[in-house]
Structure 1
Amino acid sequence: MKLFQKLLIGPAALGLLAPLSASANEVTMSDFVGAQELAVTSTRIEGSKAKLNNLEAGSFSETTTMSGSASFQVGAVDESAITEAITATYSYDIDLNTTFTGEDNLYVGIETGNYSATSVDFALDSSGDGGDTLSVTSMYYQFPLGNYELAVGPKLDSDDLMPTTTSTYSDSFFFGSQYGLASNYFTSQGTGAGVTVSRTFDNGWNTSGSVIATDTTGILTKEGIDILTLSLGYDADNYGGGIVYQKSESICTLVGNHATQLCNDYGITTLLDEGYNSTTFGAYYSPGEETTLSVTSSVIDASVSGATVDTVADFQFAVDRKLGDGTLSASWKTFPFFKVPDLNGTLIRGDDLGSFIELYYTYDVNDSLTITPGVAFAMPATDAASINAGSDDLAFYLYDRTAIGVGATFKF
């Protein structure tokens, strides 16, 4: 009886277990298929992440921003000693800013262009002479120290971080590219390794100072050429101004080709070149929201061993006025220089070469494109045609030339 019962119970139990087993088998297969699909999806996601990580590895840091501009310059200079032909040049600038703490900034400026002072006379403030090769023109690290801002770097301009404003003139046409005509020209010389510190006070006052080594022979050494710049200014809601002082250990290498040629012509060697100091005074005033007036004057005092050098000064009046979708700008500036009345003498005299005037209009086509047509011309103190090489009255003169052209700048 027990055996018979076991024989009956066995098949019954198997019958009851069969559906459960089948159900269990169905769940297992479904789970297996789902697991396969999940594994494939997971693999695809991981692959996408890897590609994304590879893409990010070749991208800028999230704390790095890049901006820049591409500029074209087309124009000609009548009575130019270089060329009177219509020329077309370009420049390309890239600005990279990186912060590591949110309060600091690593700045790198990269520029190129095809303007050459030996073959092209028409140039604007936007012109670059990089020889069609990208080069690092500025590199410094800026950071706060208490209430002050500091910057150090291997390529630092003497006016980097300078908060003092002596002129609000836009200075973006012919004057901005010329020796002695750019605003604050004689107090904005010098690029190299150095340090600068600045501070802006809550009451409107500001100040700054910098020391720049303009060559690689050493900072603050007898062999090197260092330049010291100090500034003090004040800014209110609609007016302001300031004073900028600069002292350089060389006049022959820091104030452009004209001074270099002067030194070469008259044998002012490195041993004789004792440098110069210059002081610029300036102020600006806005009588309304549409007009700003600026007045500046620079005094230049050069020193040459064994010679007496006159002090010379320039004067500039400029105005910017909003007009339509752009700004109309105009400026008049005197052009002083030095002359040597006697090549065998010990006197270098100051000379009034005349003045320059420029007028241009900056038209904002949109937020990214600006067109700037304009004209600039000279008003020499002496007729160039009446001057001969042996004249004691004037060793240098301002060419009676007229520049006319247009610039276009694309910002990105």
Structure 2
Amino acid sequence: MKLFQKLLIAPAVLGLFAPISASANELSLDEMSGYSSKDKVESITEFNPAKEIAKTNSRVDGLEAKLNNFEAGSFSETTTMSGSASFQVGGVDGSGITEALTATYSYDIDLNTSFTGDDNLYVGIETGNSSTSVDFTLDSSGDGADTLSVTSMYYEFPIGDYYIAVGPKLDSDDLMPTTTSKYSDSFFFASQYSLDSNYFTSQGTGAGVAVGRTFDSGLNASASIIGTDASTTSGILTEEGIDITTLSLGYDADNYGGGIVYQSSDSLCSLADKYAISVCDDYGISAILDEGYSATTFGAYYSPNEKTTLSATSSFVDADISGANIDTFNDFQLSVDRELGAGTLSASYKTFPFFKIPDLNGTEIENDDLGSFIEVYYTYDVNDSLTITPGFAFTMRNQDSADLVAENNDLAFYLYDRTVIGVDATFKF
């Protein structure tokens, strides 16, 4: 019997003997002396120790059985559950979606189970009520339409000094040990097209396999291949399916580090449609013409002291559309996290690249610098379970790009002149 069960049963056993002890205390010596020998024999006969002990053992066995049934319905001893509930309240002035003050939520559950002590089965479950009709979205926002769904599922295990991950819902960077930026990235940027740190080299969720290793020297490396259409008739590693390959190499020291991440995808439209729905259909880029893209991100971080960390990253993206010549475009991000008071002050600057089409009847697609974004936010830990994060972000638009729209035979994009203000509250459990 386990110690926990014994501790629960012990009070019950003591409770069985309590009435017996109380009855014995009520008898006086005079009353005892008045008993005849026959009375004494009958009294002793009425209290049969063996019988009472048998009853007690029976009750103990019953309690133990109930405890075993309770334990059988609980989590495995090697399963842990954690999660969070987040509320987002804010608005975006100048938004092309809505300028209304909106309030949304998200709810995340993480389940981790080990079978050998060195392996891990991970399952992520999420929901939320954010949607494409809401412009104020944060890193914590979820768009599960109020329905819990499995968003991640994979099994991780070691082979020698390497770790392997396989699963039906694996992110391209789930097993990646390479760090190109230590920016906290938990406010507006993390939810927006192109603004998330490592955005162009962290795409892809589906069935796949990943391998990673961290060496004693501080070097690390990883590789993965993900089939985003693996659960459909298109399959994985087929001509019809969309497969994403990711490679990384990095180095980490005590107060600095960095790395390089390379990603290749079979589809450019899957990246574009993530935030600009049907953009490929609108401009006549069919699946036959879509030949994918490759992206390379370089990044490094440095901590001059225990309270401050600086990060810088840059991505270069090469897109391929059959019959078109497309410029390589790139972005640049500079970020800082600084412990201040009871929390952390974070700020980031990032350029916003896109494309322009000078001639709709031509084959040239050029790099178009739309401008840049800045965000500033403060993460305040109320206690170990509650974090409040107020912040703001704003656009520094390239005015020349807006003027291009008015020119004849020219298709261009430009940033809305947006100002973002809001707050996030996250409860962790």
Normalising by structure 2, report the TM-score.
0.87
**Aligned twin of 2:336:** 319
Shift of 1:48: 1.0
The one of 89, 93, 98 aligned to 2:113:
98
In structure 1, how many angstroms separate the alpha carbons of the residues matched to 2:135 and 2:350? 19
**1:123 alignment partner, SS class:** coil
1:43 to partner: Cα distance: 1.9
Tell whether the 8 Å contact from 2:357 to 2:410 is kept in structure 1 after alignment.
no
Deviations 1:53-106 (A, max 9, x none): 221121100000000000000000001111111100000000000000000000
One-letter amino acid matched to 1:136? V
Distance 2:307 2:40 in 1: 85
Unaligned runs of 5+ in 2: 1-36
Per the alignment, residue 11 of structure 2 pairs with none
Distance in 2 between residues matched to 1:127 and 1:326, nearest whole Å: 21
> Is 1:29 the equivalent of 2:45?
yes
Give the distance between the partners of 1:309 and 1:406, measured in 2 at CA.
39
Deviation at 1:256, TM superposition (A): 4.3
Give the equivalent residue in structure 2 for 1:66: 81
Runs of 4+ in 1 over 6 A off after TM superposition: 21-28
Alpha carbons 1:112, 1:130 under 8 Å: kept:
yes
Relative to structure 1, the CA distance from residue 326 to residue 263 in structure 2 (aligned partners, 3 Å threshold; closer, same or farther) is: same
Alpha-carbon distance in 2 for matches of 1:397, 1:125: 24
Indicate how the Cα distance of structure 1 residues 49 and 385 shifts in structure 2: closer, same or farther if over 3 A, else same: same
Corresponding residue SS for 1:286: strand
Q: Distance in 2 between matches of 1:355 and 1:381?
A: 8
**Mapped pair 1:271 → 2:288:** yes
Which of 210, 226, 239 matches 1:196? 210
Deviates more, 1:293-302 or 1:45-54: 45-54
Change (3 A) 1:341 1:44: same
Matches within 5 A, 1:371-382: 371-382=388-399
The amino acid that maps onto 2:185 is D
Task: State percent identity of aligned pairs.
Answer: 74
1:181-220 map, 5 Å: 181-215=195-229, 216=231, 217-220=234-237
2:241 matches 1:224: yes
1:116 aligned partner? 131
Partner of 1:297: 314
How far apart, in 2, do the equivalents of 1:369 and 1:256 lie?
Answer: 35
Offset, 1:405: 0.2
Deviation of the 1:295 alpha carbon: 0.5
Query: Which residue matches 1:286?
Result: 303
Shift of 1:22: 7.9
The answer as to whether partners of 2:138 and 2:190 remain within 8 angstroms in 1 is yes
Corresponding position: 1:348 with 2:365 = yes
Q: Is the 8 A contact 1:337 1:350 kept in 2?
A: yes
Q: Aligned equivalents of 2:85 and 2:139: distance in 1?
A: 13
Cα–Cα, structure 1 residues 394 and 331, in superposed 2: closer, same or farther, change >3 Å? farther
**Aligned partners of 1:341 and 1:387: how far apart in 2?**
9
Alpha-carbon distance, 1:49 to partner: 1.4
Q: CA deviation at 1:388?
A: 4.2
1:307 matched to 2:324? The reply is yes
Task: Tell me if structure 1 keeps the 8 A contact 2:272–2:280.
Answer: no
Pair 1:123–1:391, CA change in 2 (3 A): farther
Distance 1:192 1:34 in 2: 67
CA distance change for structure 1 residues 258 and 66 in 2, over 3 Å: closer, same or farther? Answer: closer
1:44 deviates by 1.4
| Greater mean deviation of Cα atoms: 214-223 or 108-117 | 214-223
Cα distance in 1 for partners of 2:410, 2:359 equals 10
Secondary structure of the residue aligned to 2:104 is: strand
User: 88, 91, 107: which one pairs with 2:122?
Assistant: 107
Residue 171 of structure 1 is matched in structure 2 by 185
Q: Distance in 2 between matches of 1:140 and 1:46?
A: 41
Larger Rg: 1
CA displacement 1:166-212 (0-9 Å, x = unmatched) = 00000000000001000000000000000000000000000000000
Matched length:
390
* CA deviation vs aligned residue, 1:97-124 (integer Å, no higher than 9, x gap): 000000000000000000002x110010
**1:235 aligned to 2:252?**
yes
**Is the 8 Å Cα contact of residues 95 and 107 (structure 1) preserved in structure 2?**
yes
Cα distance, 1:33 vs structure 2: 2.3
The residue identity in structure 2 corresponding to 1:40 is K
**Higher mean Cα deviation, 119-128 or 262-271?**
262-271
Q: TM-score with structure 1 length normalisation?
A: 0.91
**Which amino acid in 1 is paired with 2:146?**
D
Q: 1:151 to 1:395 in 2, by over 3 A?
A: same
Aligned AA (1:53):
N
What one-letter code is carried by the residue in structure 2 that aligns with 1:48? Answer: L
- Paired residue for 1:55, among 64, 70, 76? 70
Deviations 1:243-282 (A, max 9, x none): 0000000010134434553312211000000000000000
Contact kept? 1:179, 1:256, Cα under 8 Å: no
RMSD: 1.9
Q: 1:196 to 1:269 in 2, by over 3 A?
A: same
1:366 and 1:237 map into 2 onto residues whose CA distance is 28
